[in-house]
Amino acid sequence: MIRLTIVVALVAALALVGAATASSGHPSSAAQTVVVPHGRPVQIAFAGDTTSIGAPFDLNALQAVQSAILAHPDVHGFPIQLNVVNAPCADPAGDVAAAQSIVANAQNVGVLGQFCSGGFDESLAVYEAADVVVVSGSATAPTLPPFGPTVFNRTAVADPGFDDWYAQVAALPRDAAWRSAFAALFGSPPTDFADLYSDAAKVLLRSLLGTSWVDRNGNLVVDRTALARSVRHTRDLRGVTCTVTIDPATGNRVDDQKALARCAG
């Protein structure tokens, strides 16, 4: 069995942001920029739920993210560190505290989660203010986009059509093959939403690879605004749950029935 070698760390302290000079052709302001010193990992947060109604799904969602990172374990040669934070469902105070702890670590370049819609709206204001991009694989409330107008994204379609859409997705050969591989790796089939978090990780990682660069000092430079813009303009990304396209106006995943028909064939 493949052993996961990803570092999963609890966010406990602020990471130091090293100073660096960006190479020509990549302008960005200091406020929008994360600089990862040479030899250090690039950090992503996973905002799951270990203590509330999302807990039965949390572990498999995390494992799906870990597996996606294992398939693409570095960004321009910089290893990826996944920082795990508990963002309990339907607990606005707890969710805001989780979001605040994530953005307090200035090295976190993006967030996978939060898991539930309840409490996520208040948290999105925190992420929006910090210009930290978020990709959820499970929060389906249609009311969420205005709370994170530039940073909110999801690989699950919004309610009220999620249940019917997800039933179609789960029946796709590609999704079934992924579930089988997951069961072989971890010893049991995945719970719902794990496949959507696998794709959420792919969306974030592809955009991170495409918008970051290594400066002349050997440091990785991530422009938060460029990263958020790239995620928001995701189109036809080949994922576990068919091709992923995000509506650039809202951050919602597009319910692409033509794509589903192709993936079912």
Question: Residue 103 above 50 pLDDT?
Answer: yes
Is 1 domain-assigned?
no
Question: Residue 146 above 70 pLDDT?
Answer: yes
Give me the number of domains the chain comprises: 1
Give the model's confidence band at 24: pLDDT under 50 very low, under 70 low, under 90 confident, else very high.
very low
Is 174 domain-assigned?
yes
Is 120 domain-assigned?
yes
> Rounded CA gap, 133 and 47, in Å?
12
Question: Residue 12 above 80 pLDDT?
Answer: no
Task: Express each pLDDT in 204-234 by its tens digit.
Answer: 999 999 999 999 999 999 999 999 999 999 9
Question: pLDDT value at position 28?
Answer: 42
> Rounded CA gap, 239 and 231, in Å?
14
Is 161 domain-assigned?
yes
Question: Residue 27 above 80 pLDDT?
Answer: no
> Rounded CA gap, 50 and 98, in Å?
12
Question: Residue 19 above 50 pLDDT?
Answer: no
pTM higher than 0.85: yes
Task: Tell the burial category of 12 from Cβ atoms under 10 Å away from its Cβ (0-12, 13-18, 19+).
Answer: exposed
Is 21 domain-assigned?
no
256 close to 75: Cβ distance less than 8 angstroms: no
Question: Residue 1 above 80 pLDDT?
Answer: no
Give the model's confidence band at 32: pLDDT under 50 very low, under 70 low, under 90 confident, else very high.
confident
Is 82 domain-assigned?
yes
- Whichever domain contains 51, its CATH number is 3.40.50.2300
Is 18 domain-assigned?
no
Is 5 domain-assigned?
no
| Structural domain harbouring 98 | 35-264
